Amino acid sequence: MATLASEVAEPRVEMNELAPYAGGHELAAARGEGDRIRLTWEDGLRGDFHALWLRDHCACPQCRHPQTRERIVRLLDLPEPLPAPDVEVTGDGALLVSWPATGEHPAHESRFDPGWLRQRADATTPAVRIPAAEPWEAADAARRPVLDFGAVVNTDDGLRQWLTALQRDGFVLLGGGPEAPEGIDDVVRRIGWPRETNFGRYFDVISKPNPNNAAYTAIGLEPHIDLPNWQRPPDFQLLYCIRNGAEGGASTLVDGFAVAEALRADDPEAFEVLAATPIDFRFQDEESDIAHRGPVIETDAQGAVTRIRFNNWIRDTLRLPTDAVAPFYRAYRRFWERLRDPRFVLRFSLQPGQLMAFDNLRVLHGREAFDPNSGPRHLRGTYLDRDLVQSRLRVLERNGA
Amino acid sequence: MATLASEVAEPRVEMNELAPYAGGHELAAARGEGDRIRLTWEDGLRGDFHALWLRDHCACPQCRHPQTRERIVRLLDLPEPLPAPDVEVTGDGALLVSWPATGEHPAHESRFDPGWLRQRADATTPAVRIPAAEPWEAADAARRPVLDFGAVVNTDDGLRQWLTALQRDGFVLLGGGPEAPEGIDDVVRRIGWPRETNFGRYFDVISKPNPNNAAYTAIGLEPHIDLPNWQRPPDFQLLYCIRNGAEGGASTLVDGFAVAEALRADDPEAFEVLAATPIDFRFQDEESDIAHRGPVIETDAQGAVTRIRFNNWIRDTLRLPTDAVAPFYRAYRRFWERLRDPRFVLRFSLQPGQLMAFDNLRVLHGREAFDPNSGPRHLRGTYLDRDLVQSRLRVLERNGA
């Protein structure tokens, strides 16, 4: 019954998944015990599956749509309780489950690929592997390589490397792209499409005579995230440099997760205030009034930092009880001081043909002031959804990039 | 010092806000006390403002950008602690605050409109008023009027009525639009632009020969939300009916918030399981693999239901410890049974020229099976961001619609 060991075997039973199954192991035994089906693979690995789970995951054409791969079987159409099935291991090491007819419910047979089951034997294995965020300080970040624009645009491996680094570090520089606005499209098309906002699908960062936003002036910009006034700020931002002949205007990036953790270590009270105090952000122009109330540091139920909302210039009126005002400002200052600390701030001059991409909810970006009369400066920007970035990574992994 | 009472007075001091200030009352008195400035309006209303708050909210052209209306003054540039200012009420009832020079920090003067301050005297007043969700059952929903498509497209009052109802009820039907695909654009343009997804900016719901999604088949669709496999599913969905000559295919809507509350009342254990158990959702096709793990019922820190994620056909492998499987399926059935309960399900036949708009994270939509050979059926759909819907409502309110 043993097969040749291989990382990914050809599936025996079509489970209608695009992701490859875990490979190389047939089932050796299967037996029902109450509502559990206890499986043993030929290498001794064991796994318990609930009988109802198996019925819910049947991949036959009546239970899972052959084209859309979507679940058609409906729990509400199954008998409750489900009668105990017969189970057996087929000649080629797959699982065969036979459900008896009950009342008006017909009998049903389900077959499961042993590799597909093996992938699911441990419920703690995530369905989706995405690189975890690794916080950085300036010295670490300065050592990150500038990746090749052409490799990202033209090769799956280059694309995978870029997106992996972007997920892990929250920022990546690409270099060697064309000194033309279309460069940014070439990259966006590799992932999906731009996230459109009140600044359009793409926006040009050039100093403008009647700016509706600080980015369109020549002044320095403190570290910030974009669009904190949206319930759903953009996940990633791309800034593509087309021309940069102006004096000044260096770019800065700072890992808000690293800074938040430093604040938590040094001044837990300030951290707590920023995590527990929602404040208002607001952008108003003739056409819009986009507003959101949320904390500067967002944490999950376990206390891990998940999102930063820091942008001093579209902070709206601070609506707090008068007693809460001084503690908030104190905490806000302590966080902001660290956002400026050279220990954390990566500073560089973006060159024409370079693209900086960063996680807008983690890595704050800034800009030093520049002299708009000293030369042209033109960046083109856009935003991307995290859902699309991660989808592309999964498809690349699925296809073995 | 008293002025004529009026709802909205002309501002005396330009605070650089597009929203009108509270009207009609000048200040009668102002005095500093420690770090507080205590104000009294001429009708006796009192309000306390923290001195640092006032400094942070100075609206002079050095502190707030004249064009962008953004905050330029930076807390980190102010002395810490801030010296106590002199305060006085001006001849026309505004507040004048004078900050002395300190070390290298220059003196500064700030003027505040009394109506602007009055709007902010009570920190519990939200910056932004948006109608609260009002849960409904089928009988309530059936009494809701079909609003006029033309009024929404052509009048600000019609638009405001529609968006208010959409926020409150989570669904609205419009009638009387053109029987042509462009109808939906006319409505979207009144708010902003479509939220683009893997189904495009607009999608056509017609039965297709090689569907990649259940909506493109002719089968019945259980109540569901769209794109639960996105970290950020679309907030609102619009479905515009261009032709509907097929037999069957009635539309259904059910208020997931109402159903979740009914479940909490009848079967708190099932509610808890659905609120506490994240499960996986996943859409795979040749181009994408978009996946998210989240609970079926999402609640906030206070336990209020904030979001529903129910869609049986793109539920991915259920990754739970074997012991947690049966309790999950039990809870899931109990919720699903209620989603089908006629007490909750609004059922109607969408007519050509009608638009159904609904909150995709609250109101689940479904469709009965239809016979694709009995006549043409063509709906065009799109999604909208809540940020844009609420922005439009605020702009309409600001402009007095």
pLDDT of residue A5: 36
Taking the CB of residue B206, how many other CB atoms lie within 10 A of it? 16
pLDDT of residue A1: 29
pLDDT of residue B212: 72
DSSP state, residue A340: T
Could you tell me how many CB contacts below 8 A there are between chain A and chain B?
225
Taking the CB of residue A257, how many other CB atoms lie within 10 A of it? 23
Tens of pLDDT, residue by residue over B150-205, are 999 999 999 999 999 999 999 999 999 999 999 999 999 999 999 999 999 999 98
pLDDT of residue B209: 64
Q: Does the pLDDT of residue B37 top 60, yes or no?
A: yes
C-beta atoms of A230 and B285 within 8 A: no
pLDDT band at B1 (very low <50, low <70, confident <90, very high): very low
| Closest-CA distance of chain B to residue A280, Å | 8
- Contacts with B65 from chain A: Cβ below 8 Å: 211, 214, 217, 313
> What value does the mean pLDDT take over residues B359-370?
95
CB B314 within 8 A of CB B229: yes
Distance, in Å, from the CA atom of B229 to the CA atom of B6, rounded to the nearest integer, reads: 51
Alpha-carbon Rg for chain A, nearest whole angstrom, is 27
pLDDT of residue B254: 98
Question: Taking the alpha carbons of B173, B175, B180, B185 in that order, is the dihedral positive or negative?
Answer: negative
Percent helix, strand and coil across chain A, each to the nearest 5: 25, 30, 45
pLDDT of residue B137: 98
C-beta atoms of B326 and A50 within 8 A: yes
Residue A140 CB partners (closer than 8 Å, separation 6+) = none
Q: Give percent above pLDDT 90 in chain B.
A: 81
pLDDT band at A51 (very low <50, low <70, confident <90, very high): very high
| Closest-CA distance of chain A to residue B357, Å | 20
Q: Does the pLDDT of residue A207 top 60, yes or no?
A: yes
* Of the partner residues A282, A322, A395, the one whose CB lies closest to the CB of residue B50: A322
The stretches of B26-133 forming alpha helices (DSSP H) are 51-56, 114-119
pLDDT band at A123 (very low <50, low <70, confident <90, very high): confident
pLDDT of residue A126: 75
* Of the partner residues A56, A74, A196, the one whose CB lies closest to the CB of residue B222: A74
pLDDT of residue B400: 84
> What value does the mean pLDDT take over residues B305-324?
96
C-beta atoms of B68 and A313 within 8 A: yes
User: Which stretches of B60-115 are assigned E, i.e. beta strand?
Assistant: 86-89, 95-99, 108-112
- Contacts with B69 from chain A: Cβ below 8 Å: 284-285
- Contacts with B282 from chain A: Cβ below 8 Å: 127-128
Taking the CB of residue A258, how many other CB atoms lie within 10 A of it? 24
Q: Exposed, middle or buried, B292 (CB in 10 Å: 0-12/13-18/19+)?
A: buried
pLDDT of residue A21: 86
Average pLDDT of chain A, as a whole number: 93
DSSP state, residue B315: B
* Of the partner residues B50, B120, B325, the one whose CB lies closest to the CB of residue A50: B325
| Closest-CA distance of chain B to residue A175, Å | 27
Tens of pLDDT, residue by residue over A249-266, are 899 999 999 999 999 999
Comparing alpha-carbon positions, the chain A residue that sits nearest to B77 is A333
* Of the partner residues A192, A318, A395, the one whose CB lies closest to the CB of residue B289: A395
pLDDT of residue A206: 86
> What value does the mean pLDDT take over residues A172-201?
96
Residue position matching structure tokens 């205590």: B38
Higher pLDDT residue, A248 or B31?
B31
| Closest-CA distance of chain B to residue A387, Å | 6
> Which domains, from first to last, does chain A contain?
27-119 (3.30.2020.30), 138-398 (3.60.130.10)
pLDDT band at A3 (very low <50, low <70, confident <90, very high): very low
Average pLDDT of chain B, as a whole number: 93
* A360: nearest Cα among A204, A248, A250, A195: A195
CA angle at A49 for the pair A48 and A51, rounded to the nearest 5°: 135
DSSP state, residue B5: -
Comparing alpha-carbon positions, the chain A residue that sits nearest to B214 is A68
pLDDT of residue B127: 67
- Contacts with A49 from chain B: Cβ below 8 Å: 322
Tens of pLDDT, residue by residue over A263-318, are 999 999 999 999 999 999 999 999 999 999 999 999 998 999 999 999 999 999 99
| Closest-CA distance of chain A to residue B336, Å | 8
Distance, in Å, from the CA atom of A389 to the CA atom of B72, rounded to the nearest integer, reads: 34
Comparing alpha-carbon positions, the chain B residue that sits nearest to A284 is B18
C-beta atoms of A18 and B284 within 8 A: yes
ipTM of the complex: 0.93
Q: Exposed, middle or buried, A139 (CB in 10 Å: 0-12/13-18/19+)?
A: exposed
Among A21-25, A63-67, A225-229, B223-227, which is the least confidently predicted range? A21-25
Reported as half-sphere exposure (CB side, CA atoms, 13 A), residue B154 has a value of 7
Tens of pLDDT, residue by residue over A97-115, are 999 999 999 999 999 999 9
C-beta atoms of B69 and A284 within 8 A: yes
* Of the partner residues B74, B120, B398, the one whose CB lies closest to the CB of residue A317: B120
Q: Does the pLDDT of residue A143 top 70, yes or no?
A: yes
Comparing alpha-carbon positions, the chain A residue that sits nearest to B71 is A313
Q: Exposed, middle or buried, A303 (CB in 10 Å: 0-12/13-18/19+)?
A: exposed
* Of the partner residues B70, B289, B322, the one whose CB lies closest to the CB of residue A394: B289
Distance, in Å, from the CA atom of A193 to the CA atom of B279, rounded to the nearest integer, reads: 27
Residue B231 CB partners (closer than 8 Å, separation 6+) = A386, A387, B292
* A251: nearest Cα among A223, A271, A282: A223
> What value does the mean pLDDT take over residues A193-206?
93
- Contacts with A282 from chain B: Cβ below 8 Å: 127-128
C-beta atoms of A398 and B222 within 8 A: no
CB A70 within 8 A of CB B214: yes
H/E segment holding residue B11: none
For the residues of A212-241, what is the DSSP string, one character each?
SSGGGSSS-EEEE-S-TTSSS--SEEEEEE
Tens of pLDDT, residue by residue over A373-399, are 888 889 999 999 999 999 999 999 988
Reported as half-sphere exposure (CB side, CA atoms, 13 A), residue A107 has a value of 7
Q: Does the pLDDT of residue A353 top 60, yes or no?
A: yes
